[in-house]
Amino acid sequence: MSEFASKKAKRVSDVPQSGIRRFFDLANSREDVISLGVGEPDFPTPWHVREACIYSLERGHTYYTSNYGLYELRELLSQSYRKRYKLDYSPEDEILITTGVSEAFDIAMRAIVDVGDEVLIPEPCYVSYAPCVRFAEGNPVYIPLSQVDFKLRYEDISSKTTEKTKALVLSYPNNPTGAIMRRGELEEIADAVVEHDLLVISDEVYSELTYTTKHTCFSELNGMKERTIILNGFSKSHSMTGLRIGYALAPYDVIEAMMTVHQYSMLCAPITAQMGAIEALKNGWESVESMKREYDRRRRLTLSRLRNMGLPCFEAEGAFYAFPSVKETGMSSKEFEERLFKDKGVVVVAGETFGPSGEGHIRCSYANSMEKLREAFDRMEEFLSRV
């Protein structure tokens, strides 16, 4: 054991390694592997966005930007939210450009959470939420969601709220389940937020990938703009994962607090990626719609194949994940994950990775070609026929 091992901060030592990261290694460990594990678009970043990044480098744009991010990018985001959601966010002091949504969530926690504050996290959920709360020295409080539809309800919030509760995390469309929430359902959540005087961190990075209805931005709801930090980015919608561009929209005092952390830790998001994001907002929406149509084709294939092979799966309506039950196989989600990979070279993610409520399920990402999806499901069907 090194000298450092015994001196790590407890809040870090108590947090396990991410249950998702190892799937990057698994996917490269065998030549015949098909990965339905990692939530990354298989589409290349649109050429016009890459070209904008290249051109910015050719012009020598390699300098720091404002801590808030390029003003043009913030102005375009402000215009976009005004046009699409009738929301007014000032590009001056209510929008912060971050290095991905992951950084935005991290600094949001550090900006609003004091030692001992409780943050409500509906689960199954994305793996980084609870660790970021702990790193901010707060206490994550899990809300187990119904496995019928994986939607949050008014009474779920009321049953978990105490005098220490400060905030609620929302994530719809949801990773890992693919669940969405419609406007009427979110209005009930808004009622609970007001009743219990909560702040809301709404991770809407999959907002463009909603297939059966229009996405509702949580800040649209009556009285919620003043209470909500909207987090979003370009990774999923514009297939720009490696460029690491996210953003936060919130009242100016919250953005100022987040920017204080951001300026001392990250300083600013990379200017090359910010230039790409500007191009994406100006000219990238046709590509978004094209990718969305293809994801919807894959979604329907995925749900059909999973159900036909005897794995019950509720109607995932957003993101690019399905969350079928594997309970009838008699295996735990972890056992299913490991045996399927060992026997058939297909990578899925055990539901328990996303919290106890995910046990008995697996996450299947359909951010892959139709050809590979069909091959993966053929292999999975063969696997199930033997077990």
Classify domain 5-45+286-386 at the CATH topology level. Aspartate Aminotransferase, domain 1 (3.90.1150)
CA torsion angle 80 82 88 92 (round to 10): 30
pTM: 0.94
Contacts of 118 (CB under 8 A, 6+ apart): 138, 139, 140, 141, 162, 164, 165, 166
- Report pLDDT for 39: 86
Residue that has been written with the tokens 């991410």 in this structure: 18
Q: Give me the CATH code for the 47-284 domain, please.
A: 3.40.640.10
- Sequence ranges of the chain with CATH classification 3.40.640.10: 47-284
Residues facing 34 on adjacent strands: 346
- Report pLDDT for 250: 98
Query: What distance in Å separates the CA atoms of residue 202 and residue 216, rounded to the nearest whole number?
Result: 11
Q: How far is CA 179 from each of CA 153, 182, 265, 330, rounded to the nearest angstrom?
A: 13, 10, 34, 25
Mean pLDDT per 10-residue segment, the chain (387 residues):
64 65 62 88 96 97 97 98 98 98 98 98 96 96 95 96 98 98 98 98 98 97 98 97 97 97 96 98 96 98 97 96 97 96 95 95 97 98 93
- Report pLDDT for 6: 64
- Sequence ranges of the chain with CATH classification 3.90.1150.10: 5-45+286-386
- Report pLDDT for 27: 60
Is the sign of the CA dihedral 277, 72, 219, 183 positive or negative? negative
Residue that has been written with the tokens 């199954």 in this structure: 124
Alpha-helical runs (H) found in the chain: 10-13, 22-27, 47-58, 71-85, 100-112, 129-135, 154-160, 183-195, 252-265, 271-283, 285-308, 333-344, 370-386
